[in-house]
Amino acid sequence: MMGRQLFFSGQQMTVRRANCLFFKMPANGMDLAISSNIDIRTVGIRRECFVEDAVNVNNRRWALGIIGFFALISAATYAYSEYYLYLSAYLWFGLIYGMCLQYGRFCFASAFRDLFAVGVPRMVVGIMIATVLFSFVSAFVTATGMSTFHAAPTGVHATIAGLIFGVGMVFAGGCASGSLYKAGEGKGVAMIVILSISVTQAIFVDVGGWFNKLVPDAWRVSAIAKKLPPSITVTDGWVDQYLAGYIWDQPIKKFSKLLGMSDASLQGAFIGDFLVGVVIPASLLLLVVYIFWYRKNYRKKLLAAGAAGATSLRQEATGYWSMMMSSKRTAVAGLVLGIACGLQMFVIEGLRIKYGVKNAGPLLSKMGFDFGLSVKGTVFDPGYWYVTTQEAQWVGWILQKLGWDNMDNIFFGLNNGIPNPAINPADWMSLALIGGAAVMALLQNEFKWSKPTWELATWAMIGGALMGIGSRLGLGCNVGAFFVRVAMGDTSGWLFGIGMIGGAFIGVKFFNWWTERKLAKEMASVQF
């Protein structure tokens, strides 16, 4: 009989038939014979036609409600002050990012875990597609002078930071951006990861005491020589000395400038940063993935189809393309994500020109919000997609309210500030990202509240802490330190990525060992 399905819910078993008759009986271990001549008198009849459709309708209402809520916030705040349009721009791009991430299941931790553990390259391919497309759009934005990007110092620190971050994201079961979209799906473990990342960062950037003994003298001397404002007590925190005494002394390298081109020119943006800095290395990376992880199964399919002998160049090209198209869902999400990331820079720079500001700090001052600004009157305002810094900011703001003076360091006091989370543009973006993920999860019936086990919660806290530390050492996470920098032709992005891939590999190998060890103990305890 067509349309017959089984559903399990609580203590009942539900049989749904095509004619919308539902039969329920207690799930007490009794066998239920499913056949066309089922005795409905035995189990009773309950009409619940279109229950699934009703759930779908309810989910769509919630999704529209979330979008409507954000629209109401945008309209109400703009009516109060036109400056809120700046914050709303971050909000709507965050919503797009969340929908794309959830739709394409974009998560760097999952990408490398799937690749190293089971040999599935789908998400790695999707991430590279998004990176290339983001870079292409960004090249136009850069060439028009509307880019908001600032390249980061290049050094071995980026690889070390990426390594720490990579291990952490595997332990946590999600990267920084992946945890945000998974929180939008209702996953409790992702919420713990976000909390752990946030708290760890806020404390880490202000730690001193015994840790100052680990700082090389060269860092301390170089940091003091920078003559920072008196309110920034650089010798009281080793992270300050790391930033001022080491990071700021490292060179800034973009592929365009390494080739002797201006990164603001069409030639530099498209040939240097896009072609040489992104397309070629991304293609080579995907070629490695194809050879070592995808090609074996592809050749098996060819042999099963009757192919014999050596694989031709045309067949190899077809296999490479089939890997690229292995998940259209991920590819589509990557397409939209890449375009949106590039457009955000253009829009934010346009709004900065409109309001006559270079940063959200002066904008917040115009709006009457002075608390939490850095000594330079600025706040964290990248002008493009970022994740972890704003998470540190809102915890820093809370700690400040609780009496912890954390504005005496470079991270908060000199650069990023700790504005009220309610008027922090980057916070609007991250919260909207969670909301966008919830919208897409609801529309696809993938939203479900889930409570983590104590074991998963523990790993989430450990992994989140490692990602927080890696983010601050690398000046960004998988988005800010890798995705954005690589797409913009910043060499430090690839260095962070190399470390992140290595860290993910170590994390996967560790979990394989941990699982086997745990299973062996459980088997040893079984009495035969």
Cα angle for residues 176, 437, 54 (degrees, 5° grid): 150
Question: In this structure, are residues 392 and 203 in contact, taking their beta carbons and an 8 Å threshold?
Answer: no
pLDDT at 6 over 70: no
pLDDT in tens, 115-174: 888 888 888 988 898 899 889 988 998 888 888 898 999 999 999 999 999 999 999 999
Q: Find, among 196, 186, 173, 131, the residue nearest to 488 by Cα.
A: 131
What's this model's pTM, rounded to 2 decimal places? Answer: 0.86
Question: In this structure, are residues 428 and 436 in contact, taking their beta carbons and an 8 Å threshold?
Answer: no
How is 202-248 classified by DSSP, letter by letter? HHHTT--GGGGGGS-HHHHHHHHHT---TTS-GGG-HHHHHHHHTGG
Bridge-based pairing of strands 5-9 and 12-16 is antiparallel
User: Residue type at 431?
Assistant: L
Query: Residue 519: which pLDDT band, with cuts at 50, 70 and 90?
Result: confident
How much is the average pLDDT of 356-384? 93
Q: How far apart are CA 77 and CA 198, in angstroms?
A: 27
pLDDT at 7 over 50: no
Question: In this structure, are residues 493 and 485 in contact, taking their beta carbons and an 8 Å threshold?
Answer: yes
Question: In this structure, are residues 106 and 178 in contact, taking their beta carbons and an 8 Å threshold?
Answer: yes
pLDDT in tens, 221-239: 999 999 999 999 888 889 9
In a 3-state reduction of DSSP, which class is residue 312? Answer: coil
Q: How far apart are CA 420 and CA 398, in angstroms?
A: 9
pLDDT in tens, 90-118: 999 999 999 999 998 888 888 888 888 88
Mean pLDDT, rounded, of the chain: 87
